[in-house]
Structure 1
Amino acid sequence: MGGTLVFRDTRVPAQSLLEYLDDGFFLSEFLENFPSVNRTDAVNFLKLAREHFQYENYSG
């Protein structure tokens, strides 16, 4: 997984959470299917992703 952002202490790519949500699943369903992912880490990743994309929209 060289260069792929994964959740801490797992091999689960963070992108997979975004794909789950994009497909209409809930965070709880993602966490059920990937029990090695910590809920706090998933929520923090979503916050960072939101901030990043908000910044991208304003900066051009």
Structure 2
Amino acid sequence: RAGRFLAIVHAPGYDRRIIAAAAATQFDPDDVVHIRTALGLQPIGAVDSARAALLKRI
């Protein structure tokens, strides 16, 4: 399923973040991790971990 969704990644005019957000509503969390990675985005958990580390510094 994720492969079909990634087919639009190279279509002109699509924003990677919008694709990732749409994927999060349509696919299992494991698939979303692979989709975000293929799009060059960090997995959600990695983003949360980075945010938590920054908040600890403040």
Shorter-chain TM band: 0.3 to 0.5
Q: Which TM-score applies when normalising by structure 1?
A: 0.36
Bigger proportion of residues as helix: 2
